[in-house]
Chain A
Amino acid sequence: MPVVTLQEAIASHVRDGDSVALEGFTHLIPFAAGHEIIRQGRRRLHLIRMTPDLLYDQMVGAGCAAALTFSWGGNPGVGSAHRIREAIESGWPQPLAISEHSHAGMGAAYTAGASRLPFGMLRGYIGTDLAAVNPAVRAVACPYTGERLATVPALNPDVTILHAQQADRAGNVLISGILGAQKEAALAAKKLIVTVEEVVDELAAPMNAVVLPRWVVTAVARVPGGAWPSYARGYYPRDNAFYIAWDEVSRDRQRFGDWIARYVLGTADFAGFLARLRADGAGP
């Protein structure tokens, strides 16, 4: 399992029309990988993510997605994900088919996917309209007690993409801090791409640490800062000021389009993206 460039990893493993999960719950969101998908012009993706926040706002607004499976879509603590909102409300830049869950439901769906079970089960969606609008949410009777329990179909993305702190040269990956459903999404996927802050000689992982062994990892790319403006525990904190500032940038189609053109499409890679933001006095 070689360490490759992010460009190579996306070019080799993400196809138009794929189902793609970029996971990380507030922490370790793979922004660099998402930007590379935008740069390479992928289209008609089925994006999967518990919390489509700024990254999916950018990818949906840039026209990469035809469908979205999610459980909460907004700018955390700030407000709306305006690009996702506009796609759902008025089909711009293209219609977005949504499959909406609760967090517990998404967690169960990824866990089932990682376990290669057909569905996940929970005491969930009780008394809500989510089951009425999402035909994927169904029910089963417990064979022991007869209790009616909610079911969600397993999520098995074509590709899961994560950002992590470290990989070793063999491609073993170490994650620490808030995990969200990263491990489940990784093991549910057909292919797994991981970007990391650092490639080290030895991971020195504590026992019971979250390690994704090299033989479940399809490709590793080193992208320092690749989770910004989210964060990487031990490397840099969450850039809350950027999340707040994004509200203005994303509110307007034109301003959003200019931002994507200048900073993502107009740069060669994530280092170039950061450099241009800094040159404009808007970078970390």
Chain B
Amino acid sequence: MTARAAAPAWTPDEMMTVTAARLLWNGCVCFVGIGLPSAAANLARLLHAPDIVLIYESGTIGTRPEVLPLSIGDGELAETADAVVPLPEIFAYWLQGGRVDVGFLGAAQVDRFGNLNSTVIGPYARPKVRLPGAGGAPEIAAHARQVFVLLKQSPRSFVAKLDFISSAGFMGGGGERASSGATGRGPQAIITDYGVLRPQPGTDEFALVARYESVTAADAVRATGWPLAVAPSLEVIAPPTAAELQTLRALQARTHTAHSRPVKLPV
């Protein structure tokens, strides 16, 4: 008889961020969305992937920010970049040009085929909630060689039907993406606060393939708005290491300090 497990010494956000960071490899070219994807990509860079090339849609290529940017175009990103190019160029030459290995995206909602909504909740013409919109995501989702999605799992965010498709995953599934004109392979992982979902061959439907120690497959199914398939050999994801947690927390602490620092205008 083992003692009841103590509450984990990390938050679901931290577990997600660490798990996502582990998916990025050294040297990969990663087009980074703001928020959790940005934290995960920089965590990877500070740990096992020092030569990762981070691209933000503001046109900063090969950036190494000391603190996480609040916006996609903070000065920190430009000052630490290998190159800063105009925005039409980043999308035309670098993304559409096929030079991005991984597109790393968040969203408000995802469906079973990895399509994303970041536009509206409710009807488009009279939305219940108007969200910021797609930004760079539609073409990142189309043209990055593969896409990772980072999103907390709940029946409201993992839905049977999206109110709006802002960025395409596998569309209706069953190979529909292949004839769509999208050049990338589409979403290959959804990292959540329950575990990792991967698309299944043939159907393109996402199934739970790995879970955190602290949750069960049944928990993940309950947090999903469609009948979530669970892989027969469900992996258990190793908890964050001390190094991962320390590096992430130090990064977040530096970021918090920087973002609350008062700005003095020289005028």
Same assembly: yes
Closest chain A CB from B83 CB (angstroms): 12
Does A202 count as interface, using CB distance less than 8 angstroms? no
Does A61 count as interface, using CB distance less than 8 angstroms? no
Q: Evaluate contact between B265 and A236: CB separation under 8 angstroms.
A: yes
Q: Evaluate contact between B87 and A107: CB separation under 8 angstroms.
A: yes
| CB<8 Å pairs between A and B, sample of 5 | A78-B70, A100-B133, A103-B136, A178-B75, A179-B87
CA distance A26 to B119 in the complex (A): 20
Against A, the Cβ 8 Å flags (1 = close, 0 = not) of B143-173 are 1000000000000000000001111100100
Which of A102, A107, A147 has the most CB atoms of chain B within a 10 A radius of its CB? Answer: A102
CA distance A51 to B124 in the complex (A): 19
* Shortest 8 CB-CB contacts between residues of A and residues of B: A26-B73, A127-B168, A74-B132, A107-B88, A76-B71, A72-B135, A77-B70, A224-B267
Number of contact residues on A: which range applies?
35 or more
Interface residues of A in 92-147 (CB under 8 A from B): 100, 102-104, 107-108, 110-111, 122-130, 133, 147
Q: Evaluate contact between B181 and A148: CB separation under 8 angstroms.
A: yes
Q: Evaluate contact between B133 and A72: CB separation under 8 angstroms.
A: yes
CA distance A179 to B60 in the complex (A): 10
Q: Evaluate contact between A77 and B71: CB separation under 8 angstroms.
A: yes
- The residue that A125 contacts in the complex, of B86, B133, B138, with Cβ under 8 A, is B138
Closest chain B CB from A101 CB (angstroms): 8
| Given A26-B71, A102-B136, A77-B35 contact (CB < 8 Å) | yes
- The residue that B91 contacts in the complex, of A88, A104, A126, A284, with Cβ under 8 A, is A104
A189 cross-chain contacts in B, Cβ below 8 A:
none
| Given A25-B73, A126-B142, A133-B124, A50-B87 contact (CB < 8 Å) | yes
Q: Evaluate contact between A104 and B136: CB separation under 8 angstroms.
A: yes
CA distance A251 to B176 in the complex (A): 42
CA distance A129 to B142 in the complex (A): 14
Given A130-B119, A180-B87, list of 10 further CB < 8 A pairs? Answer: A26-B73, A51-B135, A76-B34, A89-B129, A102-B137, A103-B139, A128-B167, A179-B84, A225-B266, A236-B266
Against A, the Cβ 8 Å flags (1 = close, 0 = not) of B82-103 are 0011111001100110000000
B135 cross-chain contacts in A, Cβ below 8 A:
51, 71-72, 102-103
Against A, the Cβ 8 Å flags (1 = close, 0 = not) of B252-267 are 0000001111111111
B77 cross-chain contacts in A, Cβ below 8 A:
178
Closest chain A CB from B8 CB (angstroms): 27
Does A170 count as interface, using CB distance less than 8 angstroms? no
Query: What residue in chain A is nearest B259 (Cβ atoms)?
Result: A240
- The residue that A72 contacts in the complex, of B92, B134, B183, B259, with Cβ under 8 A, is B134
Does B192 count as interface, using CB distance less than 8 angstroms? no
Does A243 count as interface, using CB distance less than 8 angstroms? yes
Does B52 count as interface, using CB distance less than 8 angstroms? no
Does B78 count as interface, using CB distance less than 8 angstroms? yes
Against A, the Cβ 8 Å flags (1 = close, 0 = not) of B62-78 are 00000001111111011
Does A274 count as interface, using CB distance less than 8 angstroms? yes
Does A219 count as interface, using CB distance less than 8 angstroms? no
Closest chain A CB from B122 CB (angstroms): 9
Q: How many residues of B are in contact with the other chain, CB < 8 A?
A: 64
Query: What residue in chain B is nearest A283 (Cβ atoms)?
Result: B265
- The residue that B139 contacts in the complex, of A70, A102, A133, A184, with Cβ under 8 A, is A102
Does B177 count as interface, using CB distance less than 8 angstroms? yes
Q: Evaluate contact between B91 and A241: CB separation under 8 angstroms.
A: no
Q: Evaluate contact between A179 and B75: CB separation under 8 angstroms.
A: no
CA distance A100 to B258 in the complex (A): 33
A182 cross-chain contacts in B, Cβ below 8 A:
86
Does A214 count as interface, using CB distance less than 8 angstroms? no
Query: What residue in chain B is nearest A89 (Cβ atoms)?
Result: B130
Q: Evaluate contact between B132 and A72: CB separation under 8 angstroms.
A: yes
Does A233 count as interface, using CB distance less than 8 angstroms? yes
A148 cross-chain contacts in B, Cβ below 8 A:
181
A108 cross-chain contacts in B, Cβ below 8 A:
88, 92
- The residue that B75 contacts in the complex, of A72, A103, A147, A237, with Cβ under 8 A, is A237
Q: Evaluate contact between A130 and B166: CB separation under 8 angstroms.
A: yes
Closest chain A CB from B258 CB (angstroms): 8
Does A231 count as interface, using CB distance less than 8 angstroms? yes
Does A43 count as interface, using CB distance less than 8 angstroms? no
Closest chain A CB from B55 CB (angstroms): 13
- The residue that A130 contacts in the complex, of B78, B131, B134, B263, with Cβ under 8 A, is B134
Closest chain B CB from A196 CB (angstroms): 12
Q: Evaluate contact between A129 and B96: CB separation under 8 angstroms.
A: no
Interface residues of B in 238-264 (CB under 8 A from A): 258-264
A181 cross-chain contacts in B, Cβ below 8 A:
86-88
Does B27 count as interface, using CB distance less than 8 angstroms? no
Does B180 count as interface, using CB distance less than 8 angstroms? yes
- The residue that B70 contacts in the complex, of A85, A89, A184, A243, with Cβ under 8 A, is A243
